[in-house]
Each structure stands twice: as structure tokens, then as C-alpha cells.
Amino acid sequence: MTALLEVGDLTVRLRLGDEHREVITGTTFQIAAGEAMGLVGESGSGKSMTAKAIARLLPAGAQVSGSVTFDGADVLALQGAELRRHRARVAVVFQDPRAHINPVRRIDDFMTESLRILGDVPRAEARRRAAAALEEVGIDDPAKRLRQFPHELSGGMLQRVMIATALLSEPRLLLADECTTALDVTTQAEVMAILDDLRRDRGLAMLFITHDLELAGAVCDRTTVVYAGQIVETRSSQRLHDDPLHPYSAALVQARPDITATAPRLNAIPGRPVSAFEAPGGCRFAPRCPHALDSCREHDQQITELDAGRVRCERAADLRGRLLASYSPGPSSPGEAAHA
């Protein structure tokens, strides 16, 4: 079965003044129809830019190479009416709802706009569909909410509105870019549940972008970890969490404190996350990796298949099964901690 979304060797360089800086390097992955994949990374990993590349929302002057194929169409080559249709079929929900909604227009204007303009749906019908969508995301009294302005709604409610709006155009792929990061944890759980339900009901595929490995694991069957613009591991969420193959995935798993028990210290790796253009040659994670050898620093790492997943580490087979136990919590010295 051909995948709904196929990203092949995607490389993105952003313009900064006269220069271009690489933020995504040679990224390849697929998402099947109805599948949810988590994309997990920290600052500089390029995860948000990946979503923007798929939705054709990159900033002006960005250089893109490689291929993005959605439902058979070459996304990077789309223009005009086809591009608009593409944006209806690939819906995006961003982190800060208030930054993506016009504060001087009412909610119903915002929600029905694309339906009326692109779909030629009459206003009354569009409003009916909007009200139905608000009900689905758990908003009471949709008629009242539709007449309100964005500032009258809380962050959590506004994010539900954004999700409802995203679903109005009957998309086949949802790109969720840190869409719950700015929400309270209880609201986050609620919004995640809504996304999960709606996704299953509609057979919607989803690319769920987050810095929270466990959150991705909760709603996505498959998780991809990115570092410095490259994919470092792709595996089933469960296995990635229990038995990571890449040292960075292991570091992410161990960086979070355990809520069920108190440990005196955490297994923290030194240094700070870097972007693709700041990373050294050879393995980009090597400066922070406790298992790095000279050969790691010399060779650009390639993706290999291992244990029903893919990993970018030449030592993965050797290190397998040992990564979670390996970071020893010693006293932090100025040298170790100083890089962050």
C-alpha cells in the first residue's frame, strides 16, 4: 500500500540575510492513511520546519530539496488552486492559537471562511457545520461561542476551536505542531483525547510534533526522534520508550524525572541541542554522546534497519539493550555541565 504522505530526502535551508542555514538534512519517512506518527525533538531539531515544509508554509527565501508526496501529488511543485486544495487536505494546528486567529473577527467568521471561499458553501450551511464541529470537540453552547471573539475564550477552548476548524475542510492529514504545549496539563489531556477520538472516527492520519516523548507515545503508534535536523530513530512508540536504540533517544527517555519515585539525581547528558548548521561533521550527536568513538566523529552516520525500526548510529547493534542503564549519575562538574 502506498503511503499517504511520503517525504524523501528532504533538505531545507532557511535564509538569514545573505546566507542560507540548513535546518533539515536528508529526512525520509512515510505516514500511511489513518496512521499517527509522533515527531519528537528539542530546539533546533527541525521538527516544526518539517511540518511547514509539508504544508508549504516555509518562510520566504527557504531552499527546499528532496520530495514531498501527498496522495500521489508532488507537494513542492503545487501552485495556485491546487496548492489551496492541498492546504485544505493537510490541516495544521499550531502551538499558540491566539497567534493564528484574527482577534477582531468573530469565531464563526474565522471558522467558516475557508468553507465559504474555497468550497462555495452558503453561509448558513457553513455556520451549521461549524456548530457541529464545535460540538464534536466538546464545546458547550456552540451557537453562543460562534458569536464570540477570540479574547473571550480561554486558551484551551481556543485550541479546540482551532482543531474544529482544521477538521471542517475534511483533511486527510493533520499536522499538530506542539499544539498542546501552551495548555494546562489537564486541558492538554482533554485536547489529546479529542484529537485521538476524532482521528479514529475519521481515519485521519496525523503527524504529532512535540518535545514530550511520553505524550507522543500515548497517541501515536510510531515515534520518530529527530536531532540537529536528522532523524535518529524511528520505531514503535512502545519499543522506543522501553528499549531505545539511539543514545539520544535514551537520553530523552532518561531526562524526564520519574513521577513514581524520587531519584537523587537524573541521568543528564552534557551540552545543548544544536541545529543542523551548527552540528559538526560525522555523527551530529557525538559531542554529547557518552558512547562516541573516534569513528563516530569521522563518519556521517547512515540510517540502518534494526529491530523493526530504523536508527542512525553505527554503534546501535553493539549498544543494543544497554542504553538505558548506561548513563551513570555522577556529581556534575563545571566541565560536564558547562556546555548547556
Partner 1 sequence: MPDEPILSVRGLRKEFGAHVAVDDLSFDLHEGRSLAVVGESGSGKTTVARMIVGLERPTAGVIVACRRDRSRPARGGAERKRRGREVQIVFQDPYASLDPRQSGAVLVDEVLRVHHNHDAATRRRITGELADLVGLDQRQINALPRDLSGGQRQRLAIARALATDPRVLILDESVAALDVSIQAQVLNVLADIRDERGISYILISHDLAVVRQLTDDAVVMRKGVVVEHGPTGRLLDDPQHPYTRMLRASVPGPGWKPTRTLRTSPAAQ
Partner 2 sequence: MSVLTVNHVARRRARLGALGWASLAVVTAAVLLAILGPALRPFDPNLADLSFANVGPYGAHVLGFDGQGRDLLSRLFVGARTTLSGAAFVALVAIVAGSLIAVVTAWFGGIVDATASAALDVLFAFPGILLAVVAAAILGPGLLSAGLALAVAYIPYVTRVLRGAALKERAMAYVAALEVQGFSAWRLCLRHLLPNISGLIIAQGTILFGFAMVDLAAVSFLGLGVQSPQADWGVMISDGKSGLLQGYPLESLSAAVSIVAVVSAVTFLGERLEARAKESRR
Kind of pairing, strands 173-177 and 19-31? unpaired
* Pairing mode of beta strands 90-93, 73-74: unpaired
Q: Count the residues of the shown chain that bind partner 2, applying the rule CB under 8 A.
A: 11
212 binds partner 2 (CB under 8 A): no
Measured from the CB of residue 153, what is the shortest distance to partner 2 in angstroms? 25
Q: Which of 278, 307, 314, 336 binds partner 2 (CB under 8 A)?
A: 278
Closest to 69 measured CA to CA, from 2, 27, 7, 1? 7
Q: How far is the CB of 139 from partner 2 (least distance, A)?
A: 31
Among 59, 99, 103, 265, binds partner 1 (CB under 8 A): 265
Sheet holding 63-70, edge to edge: 19-31, 5-16, 63-70, 73-74
**Positions in 176-235 near partner 1 (CB under 8 A):** 184-190, 192-194, 196-197, 211-215, 217-219
Looking at 2-10, 12-20, 68-76, 127-135, which segment touches partner 2 (CB under 8 A)?
12-20
Q: Site for partner 2 (CB under 8 A): which residue of 4, 7, 10, 23?
A: 23
- CB 285, min distance to partner 1, A: 11
Q: By rule CB under 8 A, what count of residues binds partner 1?
A: 60
Binding flag, residue 91, partner 1 (CB under 8 A) = no
Give residue 4's region: left, alpha or beta (phi > 0; psi -120 to 50).
alpha
Per-residue contact flags (x/-) with partner 1 for residues 130 to 169, judged by CB under 8 A? --------x-x-------------xxxx------------
| Dist CA 153 CA 167 (whole Å) | 19
From the list 220, 217, 158, the residue with the least C-alpha distance to 191 is 158
**Is residue 20 at the binding interface for partner 2, with CB under 8 A as the rule?**
no
Nearer to partner 1, 26 or 247 (CB): 247
Does residue 56 touch partner 2 according to CB under 8 A? Answer: no
Contacts of 235 (CB under 8 A, 6+ apart): 222, 223, 245, 307, 308, 309, 310, 311
3-state DSSP helix/strand/coil percent for the chain, to nearest 5? 40, 20, 40
Q: Which of 295, 247, 241 is nearest to 271 (CA)?
A: 247
Q: Is 325 in the site for partner 1 (CB under 8 A)?
A: no
DSSP secondary structure letter of residue 331: P
The grid coordinates listed for 50 are 518539517
Question: Which residue in the set 263, 293, 317, 325 belongs to the binding site for partner 1 (CB under 8 A)?
Answer: 263
C-alpha cell, 234: 524511528
Q: Of the two residues 90 and 289, which places its CB atom closer to partner 1 in the complex? A: 289
Closer to partner 1 by Cβ: residue 79 or 262: 262
Q: Which does 49 bind (CB under 5 to 8 A by kind): partner 1, partner 2, none?
A: partner 2
**Residue 142 corresponds to which cell in the numbers above?**
456552540
Which set of grid coordinates corresponds to residue 335?
566541565
> Which C-beta is closer to partner 1: that of 119 or that of 277?
277
Q: Is 311 exposed, middle or buried (0-12, 13-18, 19+ CB in 10 A)?
A: buried
Residue 77 vs 263, nearer CB to partner 1: 263
Compute CA distances 168 → 36, 92, 121, 144, whole Å. 19, 12, 12, 19
Stretch near partner 1 under the rule CB under 8 A, chosen from 15-23, 53-61, 68-76, 266-274: 266-274
The verdict on 17 binding partner 2 (CB under 8 A) reads yes
Is 106:146 a contact under the CB 8 Å cutoff? yes
Q: Which positions lie near partner 1, rule CB under 8 A?
A: 42-43, 138, 140, 154-157, 184-190, 192-194, 196-197, 211-215, 217-219, 241, 251-252, 254-270, 272-273, 329, 331-338, 340
Q: Which positions lie near partner 2, rule CB under 8 A?
A: 14, 16-17, 21, 23, 43-44, 46, 49, 275, 278
